[in-house]
């Protein structure tokens, strides 16, 4: 039997809060102290009134008033401390959650990124967690604090007049039951609104990131119409959400008005029939009764946040649970590679299609012994990058097997597998930070000496000397202050530092001028020495120095064999492609 959403949401929140038990305990202690002070201070107003009515000395009245003021100020001080502790807790919990969600998303495979746009993921990681965090602090400060305050006020009224205490208890219990019921009402509508709104953000993100192309191709009106259709889809859901929130807030207001009316009626009846209460005590009871409305009103105010937080908590839990689920399906043995010669690679009759039906690779087979190199050549869309993706398990073959060191990669744990492979793509991903950060991928455990050794072994010293600021050079967010060639050189150093057993270079030199290509050529030689390597290229010239060559056409292996041998046979496909390449691309 599955737990009702309300209970599982609370369990989820408690799990997230449990590492901060001590702080939460302290918070509760402070909140309770605040409530006790809050409940106790009106006693001094009552005393003040009674003493003044009895003609007490002004010094006594002054002390009574001073005590009241001292208690009120200490309560305010406590409120400030509680707020700052709560906001600290808020950041700790939400940042941990953001990290967990980011990690969960980064672990996911291509299919996941097909199903969710970057904008949608940003909204889920940041927007949902933000809402959940706001609620979390409100939950501690307002929801729990207000419930405790209600209990304290009712107890104080009981103490003054048991009959009025019962009235307060009945009214506040009825009000709380109604308000709690409203809390879970409409969460599904709010959740569906948030999902639609996130996918619209995704659309906006795509449109904005492709703004240059869109403008250059005069596609603004198309992009606008796509966004407009998204807004049209969102409109009815937004309307429904608005109605739901209006119902919730109005029900809350009606409940509060009823509570107030019932309590004033009870007070009126008592005063008509003579309650035997002094003027000061009557004032205290009235004060407590009006005070009871404050926490109830706060709880009504929290209702819309509560619904949004409920929906956000569900979406956050789903994302984390999906990742755990995917992990448990895909977990495998840790990949151990002991050789100094690189990892042998085999494709045995491999077929694969991104959507599971239309194959992109069909029955591809080849074998690269440890420490040898393979050139993969083919036209755009022939499936070259897909070969690389299957190796580091961005996707898994539907037929046949892909093996590293004789082990099917599908049985291996992805982290250890990926740690053994270095992939240098055509478009290098750069991050805002120094050149050093981008080479070490922000790993502070990698010393400058190791970075410089890698650079020296790749024979990139001259390049580094020419870079203003050297390793301290600041790289901009999208790498716009680095040329494509420099980015490739940086990627080589990054790959070299990982000491991989397999190096995959995917069109790593296609964007470069011939001088930079020569520098990169040296780096590639150093990087691939004593390692198994795969060099992916459009042009046959780029793979002339490899040990083996695989020719791909429409996802099929047209030919595979030793490069030098195939080059010698004029009737081989490779020799034919080379002859054709003399006139252009493969």
Ligand X SMILES: Nc1ncnc2c1ncn2[C@@H]1O[C@H](COP(=O)(O)OP(=O)(O)OP(=O)(O)O)[C@@H](O)[C@H]1O
How far is Cα 337 from Cα 404, in angstroms, rounded to an integer? 9
Partnered with residue 422 across adjacent β-strands are: 503
Closest CB to ligand X among residues 180, 538? 538
What is the footprint of ligand X within residues 456-475 (CB under 6 A)? none
Do the Cβ atoms of 535 and 375 come closer than 8 Å?
yes
Look at strands 407-408 and 474-475 and give their pairing: unpaired
Q: Does 385 bind ligand X (CB under 6 A)?
A: yes
- Give the residue with the Cβ less far from ligand X, 57 or 358: 358
Residue 444 within binding range of ligand X, rule CB under 6 A: no
Nearer to ligand X, 212 or 355 (CB): 355
CB of 135 to ligand X, least distance (A): 36
Q: Does 380 bind ligand X (CB under 6 A)?
A: yes
| Positive or negative: CA dihedral 167, 35, 76, 256 | negative
Among 46, 127, 378, 500, binds ligand X (CB under 6 A): 378
Least CB distance to ligand X at residue 146 (A): 50
Residues 525-544 that bind ligand X (CB under 6 A): 538
Residue 386 sits in the site that holds ligand X (CB under 6 A) = yes
We find the least distance from the C-beta atom of residue 341 to ligand X, in angstroms, to be 27
Rounded-to-integer distance, Cα 159 and Cα 170, Å: 16
Residue 383 lies near ligand X (rule: CB under 6 A): yes
Question: Collapsing DSSP states into helix, strand and coil, what is residue 179?
Answer: helix
Taking the least distance from each CB to ligand X, the nearer of 161 and 389 is 389
3-state secondary structure of 374: strand
Question: Contact region for ligand X (CB under 6 A) — 209-217, 221-229, 254-262, 380-388?
Answer: 380-388
Spatial distance between the Cα atoms of 340 and 371, rounded to a whole number of angstroms: 8
Check residue 382 for interaction with ligand X (CB under 6 A): yes
CB of 188 to ligand X, least distance (A): 32
For ligand X, give the closer residue by CB, 281 or 382.
Answer: 382
CA atoms within a 13 Å half-sphere pointing along the CA-CB vector of 507: 15
How near is the Cβ of 550 to ligand X at its closest, in Å? 12
Residue 1 CA to residue 450 CA, distance in Å, equals 56
Residue for token pair 């054709």:
580
360 scored as a contact of ligand X (CB under 6 A): yes
Residue written as token pair 């807790």: 89
Note whether 112 binds ligand X by CB under 6 A: no
Pick the stretch among 249-257, 282-290, 379-387, 571-579 that binds ligand X (CB under 6 A).
379-387
Which residue's CB is nearer to ligand X, number 427 or number 579?
427
Cα–Cα distances in Å, from 460 out to 256, 310, 470, 496, 505? Answer: 74, 54, 12, 12, 18
Pair 296, 257: CB distance under 8 Å:
no
CB 577 within 8 A of CB 586: yes
Residue 509 as a binder of ligand X (CB under 6 A): the answer is: no
Q: Are 400 and 362 in contact (CB under 8 A)?
A: no
Q: Smallest gap, in angstroms, from Cβ of residue 384 to ligand X?
A: 4
CB of 378 or CB of 405, closer to ligand X: 378
Residue 386 or 488 with smaller CB distance to ligand X? 386
User: What are residue 9's phi and psi, to 5 degrees?
Assistant: -65, -45
Return the range that interacts with ligand X (CB under 6 A); candidates 175-183, 219-227, 383-391, 464-472. Answer: 383-391
The secondary structure element, H or E, covering residue 221 is helix 220-273
Shortest distance, CB of residue 366 to ligand X, whole angstroms? Answer: 15
119 is an interface residue for ligand X by CB under 6 A:
no
**CB of residue 232 vs ligand X: minimum separation in angstroms?**
28
Query: How far, in Å, CA of 204 to CA of 123, rounded?
Result: 12
Query: Which residues, listed in sequence order, are joined to residue 475 by a DSSP beta bridge?
Result: 433
Instruction: Considering the complex, state which of residue 384 and residue 578 has its C-beta at the smaller distance from ligand X.
Output: 384
CB of 555 to ligand X, least distance (A): 7
Note whether 405 and 411 are within 8 A (CB): no
Is there binding between residue 384 and ligand X (CB under 6 A)?
A: yes
Residues of this chain, 317-356, that bind ligand X according to CB under 6 A: 354
Q: Report the nearest approach of ligand X to the CB of residue 233 (Å).
A: 25
Q: For residues 482 and 250, what is the distance between their CA atoms, to the nearest angstrom?
A: 58
Rounded least distance, CB 519 to ligand X, Å: 23
Cα 316 off chain centre by? 9
From 181, 381, 474, 499, residue interacting with ligand X (rule: CB under 6 A): 381
Yes or no: say if 395 and 110 are a contact pair by the CB < 8 Å rule. yes
94 versus 382: smaller Cβ distance to ligand X: 382
Q: Is 557 in the site for ligand X (CB under 6 A)?
A: no
Rounded to whole angstroms, the Cα distance separating 473 from 468 reads 6
Is residue 4 a contact residue for ligand X (CB under 6 A)? no
Name the segment binding ligand X (CB under 6 A); options: 35-43, 378-386, 461-469, 571-579.
Answer: 378-386
What SS3 class is residue 180? Answer: helix
- Whole-number minimum distance, CB 339 to ligand X, in Å? 28
Binding part of the chain for ligand X, among 87-95, 306-314, 382-390, 436-444 by CB under 6 A, reads: 382-390
Q: Is 76 exposed, middle or buried (0-12, 13-18, 19+ CB in 10 A)?
A: exposed
The C-alpha angle with vertex 418 and arms to 414 and 419, in degrees rounded to 5, equals 120
> How near is the Cβ of 542 to ligand X at its closest, in Å?
12
- The dihedrals phi and psi of 353, each to the nearest 5 degrees, come to -135, 140
Report how many residues bind ligand X under the rule CB under 6 A: 12
In angstroms, rounded to a whole number, what is the distance separating the alpha carbons of residues 79 and 75?
Answer: 6
Minimum Å gap between C-beta 399 and ligand X is: 16
* Region from 58-66, 147-155, 272-280, 381-389 binding ligand X, contact rule CB under 6 A: 381-389
Instruction: Please say which residue, 48 or 392, places its beta carbon nearer to ligand X.
Output: 392
CB 555 within 8 A of CB 381: no
Given 66, 69, 73, 110, the residue binding ligand X (CB under 6 A): 110
Which parts of this chain interact with ligand X (CB under 6 A)? Answer: 110, 354, 360, 378, 380-386, 538
């Amino acid at each position: 039997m599955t737990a009702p959403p309300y209970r599982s949401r609370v369990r989820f929140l408690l799990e997230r809060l449990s590492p901060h038990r001590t702080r939460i305990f302290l918070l509760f202690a402070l909140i309770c102290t605040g409530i006790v002070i809050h409940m106790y201070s009106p006693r001094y107003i009552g005393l003040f009134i009674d003493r003044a009515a009895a003609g007490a000395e002004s010094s006594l009245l002054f002390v009574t008033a001073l005590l009241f003021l001292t208690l009120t100020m200490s309560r305010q001080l406590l409120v400030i401390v509680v707020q700052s502790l709560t906001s600290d807790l808020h950041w700790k919990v939400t940042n941990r959650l953001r990290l967990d969600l980011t990690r969960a998303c980064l672990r996911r495979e291509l299919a996941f990124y097909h199903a969710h746009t970057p904008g949608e993921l940003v909204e889920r990681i940041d927007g949902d967690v933000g809402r959940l965090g706001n609620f979390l602090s409100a939950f501690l400060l307002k929801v729990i604090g207000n419930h405790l305050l209600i209990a304290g006020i009712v107890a104080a009224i009981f103490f003054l007049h048991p009959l009025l205490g019962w009235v307060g208890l009945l009214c506040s219990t009825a009000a709380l039951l109604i308000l709690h019921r409203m809390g879970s009402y409409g969460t599904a509508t709010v959740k569906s609104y948030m999902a639609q709104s996130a996918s619209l953000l995704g659309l906006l993100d795509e449109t904005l990131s492709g703004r240059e192309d869109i403008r250059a191709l005069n596609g603004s009106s198309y992009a606008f119409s796509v966004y407009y259709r998204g807004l049209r889809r969102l409109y009815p859901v937004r309307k429904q959400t608005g109605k739901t929130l209006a119902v919730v807030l109005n029900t809350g207001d009606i409940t509060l008005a009823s509570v107030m009316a019932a309590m004033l009626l009870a007070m009126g009846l008592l005063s008509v029939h003579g309650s035997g209460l002094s003027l000061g005590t009557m004032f205290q009871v009235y004060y407590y009764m009006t005070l009871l409305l404050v926490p109830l009103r706060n709880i009504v105010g929290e209702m819309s946040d509560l619904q949004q937080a409920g929906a956000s908590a569900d979406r956050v839990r789903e994302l984390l649970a999906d990742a755990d689920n995917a992990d448990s399906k895909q977990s495998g043995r840790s990949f151990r590679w002991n050789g100094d010669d690189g990892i042998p690679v085999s494709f045995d009759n491999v077929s694969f299609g991104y959507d599971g039906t239309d194959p992109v690779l069909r029955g591809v087979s080849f074998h690269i012994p440890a420490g040898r190199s393979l050139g993969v050549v083919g036209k755009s869309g022939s499936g070259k990058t897909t070969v690389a993706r299957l190796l580091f398990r961005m996707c898994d073959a539907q037929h046949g097997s892909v093996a590293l060191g004789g082990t099917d990669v599908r049985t291996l744990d992805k982290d250890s597998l990926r740690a053994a492979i270095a992939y240098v793509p055509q478009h290098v991903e750069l991050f805002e930070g120094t050149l050093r950060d981008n080479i070490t991928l922000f790993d502070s455990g990698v010393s400058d000496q190791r970075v410089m050794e890698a650079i020296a072994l790749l024979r990139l010293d001259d390049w580094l000397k020419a870079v203003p600021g050297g390793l301290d050079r600041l790289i901009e967010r999208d790498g716009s202050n680095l040329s494509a060639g420099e980015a490739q050189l940086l990627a080589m150093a990054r790959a070299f530092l990982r000491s991989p057993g397999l190096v995959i270079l995917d069109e790593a030199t296609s964007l470069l001028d011939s001088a930079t290509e020569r520098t990169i050529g040296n780096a590639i030689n150093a990087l691939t020495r004593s390692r198994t390597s795969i060099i992916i290229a459009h042009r046959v010239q780029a793979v002339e120095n490899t040990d083996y060559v695989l020719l791909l056409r429409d996802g099929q292996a047209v030919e595979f064999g030793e490069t030098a041998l195939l080059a010698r046979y004029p009737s081989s496909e490779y020799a034919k492609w080379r002859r054709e390449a003399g006139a252009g691309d493969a």
